[in-house]
């Protein structure tokens, strides 16, 4: 009998009677490996070129299995990570598309786990979101986090006042992330609040020193070795504060840091060096009247081998 069953499965595989949903649901381990390979890629050019194909493959899996929470989580993470790592400073329209896709994947997964919270989010009721978010825990944390992070990235990429009106909902989600685990995803919730507070004027709800505190906490969590944190610190806080010395110090540290990073930081750190060099070239536009002095690494020289353009 066992031989008959095995033979039947083999015939079924041969003629294609295994459903696409079955195949997609069994790809979660491979998607996890794809994620690891993307983060550990040493060439930012290669990662930049390869990521769209990887993301389209994930889209296909989710067409086959749209309610697979694990796939939704990874799709949200990788769409958001690709946008943050490569698109924010190069193509804001494309970045907005990736952030929006990531948000929808994360929000769909979060709604499957916490329907009341999902309904409150879609209704845009910040107070209800705050109340319902207080009921979720570590199981929902990854999707809670990426719903907020991707949404915040979308708002920042579009620079649209109508989208900015959604910020209270996003802040409610990210405050709950902070309560559950401020170190999740390398302390990125602190980078989120750092940019939110330091990247806008007080008239628009910003708070420079509060933002600086969040960046410093993110650096503490990562030991100062996750270089995109320093880039965000420089381009938001240092620029808004009009502190060119801090700006130069942070970005020079990014260019000079040759410490081997942990595997999940390799491609992000490589891309951060490209961004740091590009920002240093724009220093006279960002800080009026600033006259750079002293010697240090030449931005053009450092960026040459990592130029994505």
The per-residue pLDDT string of the chain (309 residues; one tens digit each, 9 = 90 and over) reads: 545 434 444 445 444 556 888 888 888 889 999 999 999 999 999 999 999 999 999 999 999 999 999 999 999 999 999 999 999 988 999 999 999 999 999 999 999 999 999 999 999 999 999 999 999 999 999 999 999 999 999 999 998 878 888 999 999 999 999 999 999 999 999 999 999 999 877 777 789 999 999 999 999 999 999 999 999 999 999 999 999 999 999 999 999 998 888 999 999 999 999 999 999 999 999 998 877 664 444 444 344 344 554
Residue 300 counted as domain residue: yes
Question: CA end-to-end span of the chain, whole Å?
Answer: 61
Distance separating alpha carbons of residues 277 and 254, to the nearest angstrom = 9
Q: Rounded to an integer, what is the distance from CA 153 to the centroid of its chain?
A: 8
Residue 178 counted as domain residue: no
pTM for this model (two decimals)? 0.87
Residue pair 83/153 in contact by the 8 Å Cβ criterion = yes
Residue pair 133/143 in contact by the 8 Å Cβ criterion = no
Distant-in-sequence, close-in-space partners of 154: CB < 8 Å, separation ≥ 6: 96, 99, 100, 103, 163
Nearest to 229 by CA among 247, 245, 216: 216
Alpha helices in the chain (DSSP H): 2-15, 20-25, 28-39, 44-64, 69-82, 92-113, 115-123, 126-133, 141-158, 161-164, 167-180, 184-198, 208-222, 227-232, 239-241, 244-256, 266-281, 283-286, 299-303
Range of the domain at 231: 184-309
Residue 194 counted as domain residue: yes
SS3 18: coil
SS3 88: coil
Residue 217 counted as domain residue: yes
Distance separating alpha carbons of residues 308 and 271, to the nearest angstrom = 9
Residue 226 counted as domain residue: yes
Residue 301 counted as domain residue: yes
Per the structure, the count of domains in the chain is: 1
Question: Would you put residue 201 in left (φ > 0), alpha (ψ -120 to 50) or beta?
Answer: beta
Residue 271 counted as domain residue: yes
Residue pair 143/106 in contact by the 8 Å Cβ criterion = yes
Residue 278 counted as domain residue: yes
């Amino acid at each position: 009998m066992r031989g008959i069953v095995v033979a039947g499965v083999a015939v079924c595989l041969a003629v294609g009677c295994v459903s696409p949903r079955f195949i997609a649901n069994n790809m979660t381990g491979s998607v996890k490996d794809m994620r690891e390979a993307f983060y550990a890629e040493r060439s930012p050019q290669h990662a930049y070129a390869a990521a769209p194909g990887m993301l389209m493959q994930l889209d296909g899996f989710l067409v086959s299995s749209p309610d697979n929470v694990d796939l939704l989580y990874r799709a949200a993470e990788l769409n958001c990570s690709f946008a943050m790592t490569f698109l924010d400073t190069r193509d804001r329209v494309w970045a907005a598309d990736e952030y929006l896709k990531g948000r929808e994947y994360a929000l769909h997964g979060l709604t499957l786990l916490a329907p009341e919270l999902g309904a409150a989010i879609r209704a845009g009721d910040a107070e209800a979101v705050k109340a319902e978010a207080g009921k979720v825990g570590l199981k929902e944390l990854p999707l809670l986090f990426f719903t907020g992070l991707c949404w915040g990235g979308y708002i920042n990429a579009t620079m649209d006042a109508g989208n900015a009106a959604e910020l209270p909902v996003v802040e409610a989600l990210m405050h709950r992330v902070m309560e559950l685990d401020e170190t999740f995803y390398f302390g990125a919730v602190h980078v989120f609040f750092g940019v939110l507070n330091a990247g806008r004027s007080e008239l628009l709800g910003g708070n420079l020193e509060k933002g600086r505190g969040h960046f410093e906490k993110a650096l503490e969590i990562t030991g100062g070795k996750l270089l995109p944190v320093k880039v965000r610190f420089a381009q938001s806080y240092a620029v808004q504060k009009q502190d060119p010395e801090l700006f130069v110090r942070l970005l020079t540290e990014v260019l000079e840091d040759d410490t081997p990073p942990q595997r999940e930081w390799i491609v992000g750190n490589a891309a951060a060096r490209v961004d740091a060099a590009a920002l240093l070239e724009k220093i006279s536009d960002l800080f009026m009247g600033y006259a750079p002095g002293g010697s240090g690494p030449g931005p053009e020289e450092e960026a040459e081998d990592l130029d994505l353009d």
